[in-house]
Amino acid sequence: QGPDPDLPIVTERLSKVRHKLLVLSGKGGVGKSTFTAQLAFALASDESCDVGVVDIDICGPSIPKIMGCEREQIHQSSNGWSPVYVQDNLAVMSIGFMLPDEDSAVIWRGPKKNGMIKQFLKDVDWSSAGKLDYLLFDTPPGTSDEHLSVVQLLKASGITGAVILTTPQEVALQDVRKEIDFCRKANVPILGLVENMAAFVCPSCHGSSLIFYPTTGGADALCRELDIPLLGSIPLDPSIGRACDFGSSFVDTCPESPAAKAFVQVIDRI
């Protein structure tokens, strides 16, 4: 198979993107899309920072809902597809905008999913402002067609790095090892691991309970063993679930909560 003739077009299109970040997880349901959306809101709270989010979870697109733009539509301009703008400096692209309704399933095999991802990177006009500071990729769990596709398409323009989400359970951590192996084999720099939902902070007494185990530390041990940074631990906080349902930033709505403080610490370390 020869070189992909579309690669130079993708590379040119993304040449004005300063940082491309992949958000990965071994398992589903550990908070990857939530983290991507909240990271995007947090970065875009600086008005001088232009942020894009690409939802490459083709079969399970949740970004439109949790970023509060689920009923929007994609428009065509002379420069390609215009993404959906959540605010002036925050743009989103997802297959969710193309489905007839939110209950429609996308039942596609690998090549068709890869074709869609390529279109997102080749045809979307991300930098109408002339540049984009961050392009965040929300990925499906595991290491599948979508991951391979995005890594190949971004090879020439460069990936800044990957953030890996996990819960503290051994069953989730086991799959994190595979994500780390994937990143190392694909030459994607690992920015670090984020442990999510390890603890619950009671809103009344402010006491912290470890949900999965009486003690924890599995994520920390894994990071030490495999020599990657632990970016932090974000507790389970109902305001995060609420913010997702309302498509808003939980750091803005509950800035004093332990989860918001932990989240801000995590993004400072990225």
Feature table: binding site? 26-33, 202, 205
Does 257 bind ligand ADP (CB under 6 A)? Our answer is: no
Site string for ligand ADP, 36-75 (x = CB under 6 A): --------------------------x-------------
- Candidates 28, 142, 247, 258; binder of ligand ADP (CB under 6 A) is 28
**Gap between the Cα atoms of 260 and 255, Å rounded:** 6
Does 248 bind ligand ADP (CB under 6 A)? Our answer is: no
**Do 107 and 52 meet the contact criterion of CB atoms below 8 Å apart?**
no
CB of 196 to ligand ADP, least distance (A): 5
**Do 231 and 266 meet the contact criterion of CB atoms below 8 Å apart?**
yes
Which residues does 97 contact at the CB level (< 8 Å), separation at least 6? 64, 72, 73, 74, 84
User: At residue 241, what is the residue type?
Assistant: G
- Candidates 10, 13, 17, 32; binder of ligand ADP (CB under 6 A) is 32
- Candidates 98, 236, 267, 270; binder of ligand ADP (CB under 6 A) is 236
Does 94 bind ligand ADP (CB under 6 A)? Our answer is: no
Annotated binding site for ATP: 26-33
Which residues does 2 contact at the CB level (< 8 Å), separation at least 6? none
- Candidates 58, 240, 254, 260; binder of ligand ADP (CB under 6 A) is 240
**Count of residues in the chain:** 270
CB of 157 to ligand ADP, least distance (A): 25
Annotated binding site for [4Fe-4S] cluster: 202, 205
Please report, as ranges, the residues that interact with ligand ADP according to CB under 6 A: 25, 28-34, 62, 196-197, 234, 236-237, 240-241, 244, 259
